[in-house]
């Protein structure tokens, strides 16, 4: 089973609208972290936001917020007031602290977000 | 404020050739990683290191080797390049705890 599932291969959104990018995850480890990265067409990976499994509040970073629903194992990224520069690939990733496997991030396949003027 | 530096940015290899992808970080991070990204996919972990002298395999280690003789450097070696190794390679590093990984700009490698 996939550990990170992003069900939206692509999305078109009007500029200034809010965007929700879906991410569900699968783990039996009670200690884990969820990350979102942005990859613009230039190719670099840009860290956006982090949520720890024990964090009581949803993470926020400027226009980015993470809608963390632990019981549903979902960690959706919300971008408020979208801008043309938000057009990019977005990846959800997870790190399991006590998984016993390799240290490192497990990535989803990504969502290609296009902001239209 | 260099962060994670990868060289080269682009490279074309012939089947069977070898090469080393360089990665250096100036943030004094103990943890370093190599990932590959195939077209239309997320990143997959090749190898990682939790400190100088310590390396371990990730999800897709076959055909690659790494070494970590210093905290700063984490080179990735391809022996006997194969077309299946055509990909974009990313190096990353992080500090301790829940710190996020910081990525280099990637190396685009084509094996022909």
Residue pLDDT, tens place only, B76-99? 999 899 999 999 999 999 998 778
∠ CA(A36), CA(A38), CA(A40), 5° rounding?
Answer: 170
What distances in angstroms separate CA B99 from CA B15, B38, B69, B84, one per listed residue? 38, 25, 23, 32
Give the closest residue to A51 by CA, choosing from A77, A81, A21, A18.
A77
Query: For residue B33, what pLDDT is reported?
Result: 97
B103 contacts in chain A (CB < 8 Å): 37, 44-45, 47
Query: For residue A97, what pLDDT is reported?
Result: 81
Put simply, the chain B residues between 13 and 32 with a CB less than 8 A from any chain A CB are 31
> Is residue B3 packed enough to be buried (19+ CB in 10 Å), middle (13-18) or exposed (0-12)?
middle
Within 10 angstroms of residue A84's Cβ, the number of other Cβ atoms is 10
Give the closest residue to B108 by CA, choosing from B90, B83, B94.
B90
**Which chain B residue has its CA at the smallest distance from A90's CA?**
B42
Paired sense of beta strands B76-78 and B87-94, if any = unpaired
Q: How far apart are CA B112 and CA B109, in angstroms?
A: 10
B95 contacts in chain A (CB < 8 Å): none
**pLDDT above 70 coverage of chain A, percent:** 97
> What SS3 class is residue B88?
strand
Gap from A102 CA to chain B (nearest CA, Å): 6
How many CB pairs below 8 Å do chains A and B form together? 58
Query: For residue B96, what pLDDT is reported?
Result: 83
Residue A1 has pLDDT above 70, yes or no: no
> What SS3 class is residue B89?
strand
Residue B107 has pLDDT above 90, yes or no: yes
**Structural tokens at position B44:** 């997959």
Residue B43: pLDDT band with limits 50, 70, 90: very high
Query: For residue B1, what pLDDT is reported?
Result: 65
Q: How far apart are CA A73 and CA A32, in angstroms?
A: 11
Query: For residue A12, what pLDDT is reported?
Result: 96
Using the beta-carbon criterion (under 8 Å), do A43 and B105 form an inter-chain contact? yes
Using the beta-carbon criterion (under 8 Å), do B42 and A108 form an inter-chain contact? yes
**Structural tokens at position B71:** 């905290």
Torsion, CA B94, CA B95, CA B96, CA B99, rounded to 10: -70
Q: Which secondary structure element, helix H or strand E, spans residue A5, and what is its range?
A: strand A4-5
Residue B84 phi, psi (nearest 5): -65, -15
Using the beta-carbon criterion (under 8 Å), do A43 and B42 form an inter-chain contact? no
Gap from B19 CA to chain A (nearest CA, Å): 22
Residue B53: pLDDT band with limits 50, 70, 90: very high
Residue A100 has pLDDT above 70, yes or no: no
Query: For residue B22, what pLDDT is reported?
Result: 98
Query: For residue B98, what pLDDT is reported?
Result: 77
**In A, what residues contact B, Cβ < 8 A?**
4, 33, 35, 37, 43-45, 47, 50, 52, 91, 93, 102-110
Using the beta-carbon criterion (under 8 Å), do B45 and A104 form an inter-chain contact? yes
Residue pLDDT, tens place only, B25-40? 999 999 999 999 998 8
Residue A101 has pLDDT above 90, yes or no: no
Q: In this predicted structure, which of A94-98, B18-22, B84-88, B104-108 has the lowest mean pLDDT?
A: A94-98
Query: For residue B40, what pLDDT is reported?
Result: 85
Residue pLDDT, tens place only, A33-65? 999 999 999 999 999 999 999 999 999 999 999
Residue A99 has pLDDT above 70, yes or no: no
Q: How far apart are CA B105 and CA B88, in angstroms?
A: 10
B8: cis peptide before it, omega within 30°? yes
């Amino acid at each position: 089973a996939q550990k990170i599932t992003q069900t939206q291969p692509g999305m078109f959104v009007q500029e200034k609208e809010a965007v929700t990018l879906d991410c569900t995850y699968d783990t039996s480890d009670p200690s884990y972290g969820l990350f979102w990265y942005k990859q613009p067409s230039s190719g670099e990976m840009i860290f956006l936001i982090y949520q720890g499994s024990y964090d009581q509040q949803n993470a926020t970073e400027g226009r980015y917020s993470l809608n963390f629903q632990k019981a549903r194992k979902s960690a959706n990224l919300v971008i408020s007031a979208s801008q043309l520069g938000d057009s990019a690939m977005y990846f959800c990733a997870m790190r399991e602290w006590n998984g016993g496997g390799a240290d490192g991030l497990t990535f989803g396949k990504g969502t290609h977000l296009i902001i239209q003027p | 404020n260099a962060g994670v530096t990868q060289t080269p940015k682009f490279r074309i290899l012939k089947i069977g050739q070898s090469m080393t992808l360089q990665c250096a970080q100036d943030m004094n991070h103990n943890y370093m990683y190599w990932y590959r990204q195939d077209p239309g996919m997320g990143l997959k972990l090749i190898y990682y290191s939790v400190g100088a002298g310590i390396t371990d395999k990730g999800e897709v280690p076959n055909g690659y080797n790494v070494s970590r003789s210093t905290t700063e450097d984490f080179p990735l070696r391809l022996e006997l390049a194969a077309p299946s190794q055509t990909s974009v390679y990313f190096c990353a590093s992080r500090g301790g705890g829940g710190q996020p990984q910081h990525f280099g700009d990637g190396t685009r490698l084509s094996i022909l």
